[in-house]
Amino acid sequence: MGIFSSDITGIDIGASAVKIIRMSGGAQPKLLAAGIVELAPEGTVNGGVGAQLRELQVKKIVGRKNIVTLLPGKDITIRSLTLPKMPESELREAVRWEAKRHISYPLDAALVEYLINGERREGTVDKLDILMVAAEQKTVLEHLVPFQEADIEVAAVDANALALRNVLHLRERPSEENSLVVDMGAGKTEINIFKGGVLRFSRCVESGGIDMTRAIADRTGMGIEEAETFKQSLDVRPGAPENEAIAALWGRLDILLMEIRRSVEYYKTTAREKTVTRTVLTGGVALTQGIKEYFSASLEGPVELDHPFADLAVKKDLLDQYGPQALRFSAAVGLALRKA
């Protein structure tokens, strides 16, 4: 049995919006409530994020307990480690010392957690495959400020990549294929590769939908708000009629695709893998018309859009209201699927 015994609320505070999902468990998880608070370009909202969270709790969109939130990839260090098998008490300390090699802040300022992904034997030595996750304590505390302002107690803080893993697990049984999951948000893009249901690679690129909007504004002379609205009407599929806005958006997408291809090649080289079988796109940028076709022209294997609501029991009114924006809720759904 997991740490949560009733419904769970997943809250994803991003650069452009706060996404909230409240669900109950069971053979088929049930979507109880959903909400979204749009943020201004500078990441603010009238009355503050904390006040909005409190109001959503009063409206029963945010639950009274079992609140889970996440840190974006730019605030987290995720590494795959291989360590000799050892008692748990020694393993925790060994992982902390390994973390020291990968973080830029003092170890005593770090929060370090780990998952054991598997065990194998090399020669005469039993070894553990470890996923290490580290964050600076100061960053975590800063992220929790809106919840403190709302008098909401957070039960757990997770990594965005691990939340997306939960959605992937819900949709399908883990396979030995390499699945690339690209989460394209307003302020960042996270590139994650999973194999056998295990996170094998994670990288954050600090570029997303906001940069694309600015590129359109710079190219066309539009204001930021006008460029954002216009961006949502564009179709980027190859062969679409080209204009200045489309050209600007293609330029930013091409830079992002270059970073994705570099990440895949690095993973294949270091993990000795031959191919990435397919790509799953999620996040607000994945709502761009024609993006699946545009990415398909540059990435190996089929490209598909995530469907975070597909395997949930969802009432028609919630599906009608939030279904068209479901790609923005993938991480929040993954948080609400957390079991331990």
Residue 64 makes CB contacts below 8 A (sequence gap 6+) with 57
The pLDDT value recorded for residue 25 is 81
Q: For Cα atoms 171, 307, 291, give the angle at the middle one, nearest 5 degrees.
A: 130
Residue 94 burial (CB count, 10 A) = 17
Cα of first residue to Cα of last residue in the chain, in angstroms, is 8
Q: What's the pLDDT at 44? A: 63
* Chain-centre distance for alpha carbon 70: 9
Hey, what domains does the chain have and what are their CATH numbers? 8-74+138-172+306-336 (3.30.420.40), 76-136 (3.30.1490.300), 173-305 (3.30.420.40)
Specify which residues 33 forms β-bridges with. Answer: 22
pLDDT score, position 45: 64
Separation of alpha carbons 16 and 271, rounded Å = 34
The pLDDT value given to residue 87: 93
Separation of alpha carbons 176 and 179, rounded Å: 9
State both tokens at 207.
């570029």
Cα–Cα distance measured from residue 30 to residue 170, given in angstroms and rounded to the nearest whole number: 12
From 336, 334, 9, select the one nearest 168 (Cα to Cα).
334
Render each residue's pLDDT in the chain as its tens digit; 340 residues: 345 557 999 999 999 999 999 999 877 899 999 999 998 765 566 668 999 999 999 999 999 999 999 998 889 999 999 999 999 989 999 999 999 999 999 999 999 999 998 899 988 899 999 999 999 999 999 999 999 999 999 999 999 999 999 998 887 766 788 999 999 999 999 999 999 889 999 999 999 999 999 999 999 999 999 999 999 999 999 887 789 999 999 999 999 999 999 999 999 999 999 999 999 999 999 999 999 999 999 999 999 999 999 999 999 999 999 999 999 999 999 999 987 4
pLDDT for position 5: 56
